[in-house]
Amino acid sequence: MKAVTWHGRNDIRTTEVPDARIEDERDVVIRVTASGICGSDLHIMTGAAPAMRHGDVIGHEPMGVVEEVGSAVTRLAKGDRVVVPFTLACGRCFFCASTRFSLCDNTNPNAEMAQKQMGHTPSGMLGYTHMLGGYAGGQAEALRVPFADRTGPIKVPEDLSDDRVVLLSDIFPTGYMAAENCDIQEGETVAVWGCGPVAQFVMQSAWMLGAGRVIAIDRVPERLEMARTHGRAETIDFSQEDVYERLQEMTGGRGPDCCVDGVGAENHAGGLVADTLEDAKTALHLGSDRPNVLNEIIRCCRKGGKVSCPGVYFGKVDLAWGAAMNKGLQFKMGQTHVQRYLEPLMQKVVDGEIDPSFVITHHASLDEAPAAYDRFKNKTDGCIKVVLTP
Ligand code: NAD
Ligand code: ZN
């Protein structure tokens, strides 16, 4: 079958790989109809995410039609149209029982590697690095979804188009959890770093959860524009204005109550995805005097404020922890517990409270995927979110 595969830094190809098939009684196989490209895929593309192997199939934002069902799966049947959460969860362990699905104990076969590198074992995740299980991803004609017997894919109402529901696989829940992690009190000001696809859903969710004001920061004109129109945000273009000064001014010298890092690892430094980690470091520390996003947040957030970080990081980050401690900041972060949000957020789509497709600017076939990755990475052609249609 055809799939999007990783072949080293900035080398994404569409290749032939072995067909997805049932390998365990808890598996299902789906024929993929839509599959998002995510900012996390850019971390993979640029080589920032460790433990990728040449030929790995990427993609963790899929939906499609169930084609085959393992003998232990009774919650799904052949022909069901489903959206697939990127986190794999057993549904039985301590963490799944408390809906912390991305921390599931039992779905990562590379626990030893993860323990050694990170000191803990996260759940398995589709189309991600070998540290997260090394499962083949969903930017492909078909996808094996393991652990589908207790949680995982859920059925989609027939009258909702793929574009309306595919982003439930990741970024709508991710934006929602990031906003929830701010513990927003009625009327509070939420500042969001980044106006990428994830950040757009942080803005939507911040309003749903009671924000009184949303301020969004980026430098890409189309993304800032989307933040203003769809996200009803006031915006700061960080290439034109000093973010700290502007936020001080906008909040009467106090700083935002809640700050969200919707950007993540340093290969995004300065608003461009650097080609190599060395380039990123140059952009951060030599070529520009902008602090990394988390340090800028520590500086800007009000005393006793709340910081939420959906942005993905790898390894160590140089942080102004002393300032954060003395300011009494609270931090919450993590890979999204997608299963926790699937049904409630699907209901919001069904009820017409939100149409998540507003963020999708481009569609592409699997053959067009390498060009689509370049467009998404370089933010050309007004590209904000690409959905592949295998
Ligand atoms: P994206 O790359 O499209 O968006 C990042 C945005 O940040 C871009 O618009 C960029 O211009 C902007 N930016 C870069 N540097 C900046 C700075 N210094 N200040 C303000 N803005 C800046 O990616 P995305 O798809 O929106 O994903 C965003 C992050 O969320 C990534 O790190 C991704 O890995 C992560 N993510 C996390 C989860 C999770 O489960 N926690 C899920 C999905 C994505
Ligand atoms: Zn994603």
Quote the pLDDT of residue 290: 52
262 alpha carbon – ligand 1 mean position (Å):
5
Q: What is the pLDDT of residues 296-345, one digit of tens each?
A: 999 999 999 999 999 998 877 778 889 999 999 999 999 999 999 999 99
Which ligand has the minimum distance to the alpha carbon of residue 138?
2
The pLDDT of 51-63, averaged and rounded, is 95
The alpha carbons of the chain give a radius of gyration, in whole angstroms, of: 20
For residues 280 and 252, which has the higher predicted lDDT (pLDDT)? 252
For residues 210 and 131, which has the higher predicted lDDT (pLDDT)? 210
* 265 pLDDT more than 90: no
What's the rounded Cα separation, in Å, for the pair 76 and 34? 19
Q: Is the CB of 40 under 6 A from ligand 1?
A: yes
Query: pLDDT confidence of 10, banded at 50, 70, 90?
Result: confident
Q: Is the CB of 310 under 6 A from ligand 1?
A: yes
Q: Is the CB of 36 under 6 A from ligand 1?
A: no
Which ligand has the minimum distance to the alpha carbon of residue 300?
1
HEC assignment per residue over 121-186: CCCCEECCCHHHCCECCCCECEEEECCCCCCCCEECCCCCCHHHHHHHHCHHHHHHHHHHCCCCCC
Q: Is the CB of 170 under 6 A from ligand 1?
A: yes
**φ, ψ dihedrals at 85, nearest 5°:** -70, 145
Quote the pLDDT of residue 284: 39
Q: Which residues, in sequence order, are CB contacts of 313 under 8 Å at separation 6+?
A: 264, 265
Q: Is the CB of 174 under 6 A from ligand 1?
A: yes
Q: Is the CB of 341 under 6 A from ligand 1?
A: no
Q: Whole-number mean pLDDT of the chain?
A: 92
Q: What is the pLDDT of residues 80-127, one digit of tens each?
A: 999 999 999 999 999 999 999 999 999 999 988 888 888 889 999 999
Q: Which helix (H) or strand (E) holds 33?
A: strand 28-37
ipTM exceeding 0.90? yes
282 alpha carbon – ligand 2 mean position (Å):
26
246 alpha carbon – ligand 2 mean position (Å):
30
**In the chain, where are the structural domains located?**
2-170+336-388, 172-333
Query: pLDDT confidence of 266, banded at 50, 70, 90?
Result: low
Give the largest Cα separation in the chain, rounded.
Answer: 61
Q: Which residues, in sequence order, are CB contacts of 97 under 8 Å at separation 6+?
A: none
Which atom of ligand 1 sits closest to the CA of residue 293?
Answer: 18
CA distances from 263 to 60, 179, 196, 271, 300 (A): 18, 14, 8, 9, 16
Residue with CA closest to ligand 1 atom 16:
271
Q: Is the CB of 146 under 6 A from ligand 1?
A: no
Query: pLDDT confidence of 49, banded at 50, 70, 90?
Result: confident
Q: What is the pLDDT of residues 274-290, one digit of tens each?
A: 455 555 444 433 333 45
Q: Is the CB of 223 under 6 A from ligand 1?
A: yes
As its CATH architecture, domain 172-333 has: 3-Layer(aba) Sandwich (3.40)
Which atom of ligand 1 sits closest to the CA of residue 199?
Answer: 26
The CATH homologous superfamily for domain 2-170+336-388 is Medium-chain alcohol dehydrogenases, catalytic domain (3.90.180.10)
